[in-house]
Amino acid sequence: MVDTYNIRGVITLTAAAHQSSPEKDGNHTPMLSTRVMTDLGPVTVPIISANSVRALMRRRAADRVWEALRAKKMQIPRDLYLSVARGAYSRTGMKAGEATVQELVAARSHVFAGLFGGGARMFASRLRMEADLLPMVAETKELFPLWLQAMCRGTAVLRDGEGRYRGSGLISKVLLTGRDDLTAGGGADVIENYEKAYAEFVSNVDAKAARKKAQTTATKAAKAAGEKLVISDDDRAKSDALATIATMDVLNPGTRLYFGERLPGVTPAQLGLALMALQDWANQNALGGGSVRGRGSFSAALALEHNGSRVTDNLLLGEAPAYRLADDPAISQAVAAAQTALDAIDPQSLGHVFPTTTDADVQEAA
């Protein structure tokens, strides 16, 4: 049996949260959703994607790496920085099947690479989210551990035949407004060549708006004629105007979301870094998009399990931005091991587990 830690529990929104769906209805942005199968049949529910949460924790763990490098006044190349922070430095140069045995062994035991994976060799990650963050409601109840099912309340938000939300009130529509400071007359006393800069800006905004309107009209005309007008992303007109009005769907404050994370086969140091990253993310208190506007704050009630046995019922104590990890010997030892491993990181060891290639290498391979 693989030695496995699980972090499971409830994330309760203390502010509205949003994650954009790739589908868009004019100036309205719907909430990302997924379809789940339940005893009541298929149900469509809004979600915060597991990938977005995992990316946030990867970046918080990367912050710990940067702290270790700063303490020793060390710097690293840009591509190596990107490999650590986001998992890849570009869409090219990936050589997943060319890892040497030495690279595989080094990455597997590395405090960061073995936990989050990625890089040019696309190493596997040991930090795995069990599922997207699903709302804890009656229809999804059976998807969660038994000890959490009693916390499910309300009913799911369903979609009607036209794809619009209806139902329990998990989702609200909020108004987004933007204010364009320059067109509103601001900056006259601080902008160089203000009159010329203003005229050029307004002319550019108007030209792009006219081009966008023309494309919209042409698209509608083609649709009415039973044809399809295809406009590439490069040719699609985009407006520069900030003073717009739009709407978006958000998950309401008070919504409970299930959080499940698995850590199979981790070393003590990797466990410690995973716990530190979770703590840092909880203190950052950002879920979904728009955190700079105050969205996505939450409270966390999470338990830590080891091979099915409970280590602690309350992994995070306090509240953001001062969450602290539970005072447990196993947790303290793991964090200490992680800090020791982080202190030993240097550019050479990072470069060994996250090798990078230059643009010239990519061009030669092509």
Q: CB–CB of 58/45 below 8 Å?
A: no
The answer on pLDDT for 136 being more than 70 is yes
- pLDDT band at 163; cut points 50, 70, 90: very low
pLDDT digit string (tens) for 296-348?
999 999 999 999 999 999 999 999 999 999 999 999 999 999 999 999 999 99
Q: Which residue has better confidence, 193 or 303?
A: 303
> Where is average pLDDT lowest: 9-13, 202-206, 213-217, 307-311?
202-206
Of 172, 135, 173, nearest to 151 by C-alpha is: 135
Q: Round the average pLDDT of the chain to a whole number and report it.
A: 86
Asked whether the predicted pLDDT for residue 360 surpasses 50, the reply is: no
Q: What angle do CA 115, 117, 119 make, to 5 degrees?
A: 145
Mean pLDDT of 73-98: 83
Return the pLDDT at 94: 63
Highest mean pLDDT among 204-208, 235-239, 319-323: 319-323
- The H-assigned helical ranges of 225-346 are 268-284, 329-343
- Confidence class for position 363, pLDDT limits 50, 70, 90: very low
pTM over 0.75: yes
Mean pLDDT of 185-190: 80
pLDDT of residue 176: 74
pLDDT tens, position by position, 20-61:
888 777 778 889 988 888 776 788 889 999 999 999 999 999
CA–CA distance, 10 with 144 (Å, rounded to integer):
10
The mean pLDDT value for 75-99 works out to: 81
Q: Looking at the predicted structure, is the pLDDT value of residue 272 above 90? A: yes
| Band (358; pLDDT cuts 50, 70, 90) | very low
Task: Indicate the length of the chain as a whole number.
Answer: 366
Q: Residues 281-296: pLDDT tens digits?
A: 999 999 998 887 788 9
Q: Which of 200 and 233 is assigned the larger pLDDT?
A: 200
Element (H, E) at 211: helix 194-224
Return the pLDDT at 223: 84
Q: What is the pLDDT of residue 265?
A: 96
Q: For the residues 205-224, what does the mean pLDDT come to?
A: 83
Q: What is the pLDDT of residue 2?
A: 87
Whether pLDDT at 168 is above 50? yes
Q: Give the pLDDT confidence score for residue 219 in this predicted structure.
A: 83
Give Cα separations from 346 to 48, 66, 268 (angstroms).
35, 10, 20
The per-residue pLDDT for 241 is: 62
Provide the pLDDT for residue 365.
Answer: 44
243 confidence band (pLDDT: 50, 70, 90)? low
Residue 153 or residue 8, greater confidence: 8
